[in-house]
Amino acid sequence: MAEVTLVEAVNMALAKAMADDAEVLVFGEDVGLDGGVFRSTDGLLARFGAARVMDTPLAEGLIAGVAVGLAAQGFKPVAEIQFMGFIYPALDQIVSHASRMRNRTRGRLTCPMVMRAPFGGGIRAPEHHSESTEAMFAHIPGLRVVIPSSPSHAYGLLLASIRDPDPVIFLEPKRIYRAVREEVADDGRALPLDSCFTLREGGDVTLVTWGAMTMETLAAAETLADEGIGAEVIDVATLKPLDMDQILTSVQKTGRCVIVHEAALSGGWGAEIAARLAEEGLLSLLAPVQRVTGYDTVMPLLRLEQWYMPSEGRIVAAARRALEYA
Amino acid sequence: MSKPAAFDIPYTRFLDPEGRAIVPVPAFAQDASALIPDYRAMVLTRTYDAKAIALQRTGRLGTYASCLGQEAVSVGFGSVMQPGDVLLPTYREPGAQLLHGVTLVEMFLCWGGDERGHDFAGPREDFPVCIPVATQAPHATGVALAFKLRGEARAVVCCFGDGATSKGDIYEALNLAGVWQLPVLFMITNNQWAISVPREAQTATATLAQKAFAAGIPAEQVDGNDLIAMRHAAGQALEKARAGGGPHVIEALTYRLGDHTTADDATRYRDDESVSRHWKEEPIARLRRYLADAGVWSKGDEEALIAACAKEVDAAAETYLATPPEPPEAMFDHLYATLPPSLAKQRAALIEEAAALIAEAKGNG
Ligand SMILES: Cc1ncc(C[n+]2csc(CCOP(=O)(O)OP(=O)(O)O)c2C)c(N)n1
Ligand SMILES: [Mg+2]
């Protein structure tokens, strides 16, 4: 079994999906010879040829729209948007078409496409390269929004996303593209979509997060453990549709919940989770739900971005606040 | 039936790659010494560019996009812009930005990840570097519309690359500028590459300039490594625009001699041989030979210029490095004209967190 990074696991899953299914196509900007600016498509052109691995002209609206057309024809397009910051021209196609095609044709035409995009801050990137706007996509009915948090999750969730019969926005936390190596078997086994993953068990407080913030959140859980506090860490993984059951089950046990995300506070996906806790889990809660998030500011350029990103310290402090309620 | 329309794309070049005039040069260039300020600006641009790469390599600047080999394009149109004109640059036009009054320190701050680098003290109406490719083109059309509505004899320069011409924004911006006859020069810097995608894989059209015809705008190609040609073409286009003659498109043919950015490795997708070939056409050596042959530029002048540029760029880099970051709460201070009370709470929390972390770091350090 190979020890791979998250970005290598993405590459492995793409290759596996292409090898298994001739209908899988990979395209986007610089995905061919260059292998993607993060190398996630490295080697695919050489292995599968230019008819299945295509460099497109520079046009994200086009990339998304072409994916809709190919998908309606039975192909399985896996389109790359180079950075999430450049996905917005594609929104029209995603919101107005990809997410609705099945519904508006009553299942006659469908949209089994995946749009991959690296997202998130903390890599000292230029402007527009660091935002986290996953909630914008999670808001759209008919879409799936999937975010892996480790190499094995990237492999299993990307395979599941490609095989899924509906459109998936697959957002890759680029800050941890190369943060850890993990043994991942290239066995073609998918992980379940629409399901949270419990990364760590604990009985005192539930920490809910996704993507790169699993790193800070797991570190916070470790710090809390040193103080004798048992933190349960839940990786949401599929933001939409949201698996509230696992979160509710955990909160029934702990009575306390801290939600952590890099995206801005207001209207972030933590707001949806908190609302659902208020609706469906209020009587289990012993303390108000705490949110540790980016501020409601424009993502700062690199000199200030460290102050924007939720830190382990802020997560620990929020957990302690939740625990102050008797 | 008569032909409904005829299209022509002129191509302008005065200097060949050896710096020899192949056709009579325009009036502004007849006294070769009049070109010396442009030559200086090109060398200053290249010196700045090399320094930015060096700072990035040593962890003192963020990702940087080099303009190596493209200096004549930027300096060419930059030198014919007037103070009242407005520039909407890409990340690869520091030559024009400098000539229009942006400082070296501001440019270092921008790439160093400090928003103050976008707060130009000089050209207050110029736009900051635009990162989402092609999205600045409709802004340029909007600025040009403002000039037209107010009856001002000013022009806009909108920069973008060969890759950008594939995006709908460009056509949309051109189309409105064409139909409303707005005073804007669309400056296509065709450096043959959009990261790893070569020009011929970007579009099947024979030229990028001809895309202007779909919007009813006249267009031309220019040797972008020939400063005289660049200045000539851009000067005419801007004069026409200021005089109410409408928009214009220039496709400058040049070559990206460096990597796409400091995060890129161009050897993955292009061979060194083609890059070396393009080094023989690069703009600075070309103009230097022309000036030397005209007897207005000596070895001593060259040495003095290189020393002066190094000194100026080093001083700017020192100033940039000595500029402390803004306090963390600055991220709140320019969001709205006045900070809404709900955000004041978040701002206070950030100040508290930052103070605690700084105290902790001092305690550990
Ligand atoms: C809308 C958008 N998509 C993708 C990117 C990533 N990207 C940055 S530069 C670039 C290529 C641009 O090529 P071109 O327009 O020729 O300009 P050049 O970089 O050659 O100056 C790409 C794809 C971006 N910045 N914006
Ligand atoms: Mg280009």
Q: What is the CATH number of the domain that holds B149?
A: 3.40.50.970
One domain, residues A306 and A252: yes
Residue B339 lies in a domain: yes
Flag whether B5 is in a domain.
no
CATH code where residue A295 lies: 3.40.50.920
Question: Would you call B113 and A303 a contact, using CB atoms and an 8 Å cutoff?
Answer: yes
Q: How many CA atoms lie within 13 A of B130 on its CB side?
A: 20
Chain B residue with CA closest to A301: the answer is B113
**Residue A314's closest chain B neighbor by CA?**
B353
Percent of chain A having pLDDT more than 90? 99
Does the interface predicted TM-score (ipTM) exceed 0.90? yes
Q: How far apart are the first and last CA of chain B?
A: 85
Asked if residue A159 and residue A202 are part of one domain, the reply reads no
Would you say A97 and A146 are in contact if contact means Cβ atoms under 8 Å apart? no
Give the binding-site residues of ligand 1, using a 6 Å CB cut-off: A 29, 58, 60, 82, 86; B 90, 92, 131-133, 160-164, 191, 193-195, 256, 260
Q: Indicate whether B223 and B240 sit together in one domain.
A: yes
Each residue's pLDDT tens digit, B199-256 = 999 999 999 999 999 999 999 999 999 999 999 999 999 999 999 999 999 999 999 9
Output the CA angle A135-A137-A143, nearest 5 degrees: 130
Residue A129 annotated to the active site: yes
* Residue A86 exposed, middle or buried by CB count within 10 Å (0-12, 13-18, 19+): buried
Which phi and psi angles does B362 have, rounded to 5°? -65, -40
Cβ–Cβ below 8 Å for B196 and A303: no
Residue B143 has pLDDT above 80, yes or no: yes
B49 in a domain, yes or no? Answer: yes
The answer to whether residues A166 and A206 belong to one domain is no
Question: So what's the pLDDT on residue B1?
Answer: 65
Same domain, B76 and B172: yes
Q: How many domains does chain A have?
A: 2
Are A237 and A268 a contacting pair, CB within 8 Å? Answer: no
* Of B55, B117, B95, B168, residue with least CA distance to A92: B168
pLDDT, residue B149, reads 98
Residues A216, A180 share a domain: no
Identify whether residues B28 and B100 lie together within a single domain: yes
For chain B, the residue count is 365
- Helix, strand or coil for residue B187? strand
In the structure encoding, which two tokens stand for residue B330, read together?
């600055």
Of A29, A128, A302, the CB nearest to B197: A29
CA-to-CA separations, B46 to B51, B87, B309, in angstroms, rounded: 9, 20, 9
Final residue belonging to a domain, choices A184, A207, A232: A184
Same domain? For A28 and A177 the reply is yes
Task: State the greatest distance between any 2 C-alpha atoms of chain A, in Å, as a whole number.
Answer: 63
- Identify whether B269 is a catalytic site residue: yes
Helix (H, G, I), strand (E, B) or coil at B305: helix
Work out the mean pLDDT of chain B and round it to a whole number: 97
Number of domains within chain B = 2
Asked if B80 and B21 sit in the same domain, the reply is yes
For chain A, the first-to-last Cα distance in angstroms comes to 48
Which of B63, B171, B197, B343 should we substitute to test contact with A (largest number of A Cβ atoms within 10 Å)?
A: B197
Q: In terms of domains, do B72 and B165 share one? A: yes
CB contact under 8 A, B335 and A311: no
What would the pLDDT profile of A252-287 be if each residue is shown by its tens digit?
999 999 999 999 999 999 999 999 999 999 999 999
pLDDT category of residue B139 using cuts at 50, 70 and 90: very high
Q: How far is A142 from chain B (nearest CA, A)?
A: 27
Residues A252 and A135 in one domain: no
For residue B337, the 8-state DSSP code is S
Q: For an interface test with B, which of A295, A299, A308 has the most B Cβ atoms less than 10 Å from its Cβ?
A: A295
- Is the pTM higher than 0.95? The answer reads yes
Ligand in closest contact with the CA of B163: 1
Q: Which domain holds residue B247?
A: 11-322
In-domain check, residue B291? yes
Residue A144 shares a structural domain with residue A230: no
What pLDDT is attached to residue B365? 53
Residue B186 DSSP one-character state: E
A189 in any annotated domain: no
What's the rounded Cα separation, in Å, for the pair A259 and B363?
30
Give the nearest ligand 1 atom to B202 CA. 16
Residue B358: per-residue pLDDT: 83
Residue numbers of chain A with a pLDDT score lower than 50: none
Looking at beta carbons, which residues of chain A come within 8 Å of B166?
Answer: 57-59, 62
Q: Is B217 a domain residue?
A: yes
Nearest CA in chain B to A124: B62
The domain of A168 spans 2-184
B131 plus B176 within the same structural domain: yes
Residue B2: per-residue pLDDT: 76
Question: Which of B108, B170, B274, B331 is the best residue to mutate to test the A interface, defined by the most A CB atoms within 10 Å of its own CB?
Answer: B331
3-state secondary structure (DSSP) of residue B295 = coil
Torsion, Cα of A214, A216, A219, A224 (10° steps): -100
Pocket test for ligand 1, best of B166, B170, B188, B195 (most atoms within 8 A of CB): B195
**What does residue B335 show for φ and ψ, rounded to 5 degrees?**
-75, -45
Are B229 and B309 within one domain? Answer: yes
Residues A129 and A6 both lie in one domain: yes
Q: Is B288 a catalytic residue?
A: no
Both B171 and B314 in a single domain? yes
CA–CA min distance B196, chain A (Å): 6
Nearest-CB residue to A55 (from B201, B263, B264): B201
Mutate to test the pocket of ligand 1, among A27, A62, A81, A86 (most ligand atoms within 8 A of CB): A86
Among B29, B1, B28, B23, CA closest to B10: B23
**What is the pLDDT confidence band of residue B5, given thresholds at 50, 70 and 90?**
confident
Q: Which of residues 17-76 of A touch B (CB under 8 A)?
A: 29-30, 32-35, 37, 55, 57-59, 61-62
Q: Are residues B214 and B292 in the same domain?
A: yes
Res. B360 pLDDT band, cuts 50 70 90? confident
Residues B130 and B29 in one domain: yes
Q: Same domain, yes or no, for B54 and B174? A: yes
